[in-house]
Amino acid sequence: MRNTIATREWREISNPNDLVTTKRRIDLLVVHCSATRPQDRYLPPQLIQDHKLRGFATAGYHYYVTLEGRLYALRHVDEAGAHAAGYNKFSIGICYEGGLDTQYRPRDTRTPEQRQTLSQLMWNLRRRYPEAMVVGHRDLSPDRNADGSITPDEWLKSCPCFNAQVYN
């Protein structure tokens, strides 16, 4: 019997202005990629199922943006995410579909529709949480040489494959 994901676990948001604001303190807006190739569709039901197989109750991210720029709420913002170990309590996780080229190499594969939706989403989140900093998952890598900055040679992963701090 095939596992199915109830649609109550995720919902499409047609207008990024219709976001819910949490009572949690939010210090970070963490941008991720799904680490999938453009030709390998990765929609909310599959993402949720994969996260459940990893032992999570549901998707680790709060928001997800598909190749077409469709925005989905995957986890309620009042609930801490499961997307950036050590940072989940005070953050919101945003993921876009993609991040790998056809040869499985890290690349900024965002479509124009994704770029538009991400810009609108980040604008709305920054308006709701003005003190929060926008970072990519890679920016949370340890500062291995203790010089006060995380450089590409210190990244544990390339995710989200672009400089998410442009949204600050």
Per-residue pLDDT of 28-70, as tens digits, reads 999 999 999 999 999 999 999 999 999 999 999 999 999 999 9
* pLDDT, position 12: 86
- Which residues in the chain show pLDDT less than 50? 1-7
CA atoms lying within 13 Å on the CB side of residue 45:
6
Q: Tally DSSP H helices, then E strands, for the chain.
A: 2, 6
* pLDDT, position 2: 36
Phi, psi of 51 (to 5 degrees): -70, -35
Give the start-to-end residue ranges of the domains of the chain: 29-150
Q: Which residues, other chains included, contact 43 with Cβ-Cβ below 8 Å and sequence gap of 6+?
A: 66, 97
Contact assessment for residue 11 and residue 48, using Cβ atoms and an 8 Å cutoff: no
* pLDDT, position 6: 45
Q: What is the pTM of this model?
A: 0.90
* pLDDT, position 141: 81
- What separation, in Å, do the N-terminal and C-terminal C-alpha atoms of the chain show? 46
CATH 3.40.80.10 fits 29-150, yes or no: yes
* pLDDT, position 8: 61
- Which amino acid type is present at position 89? K
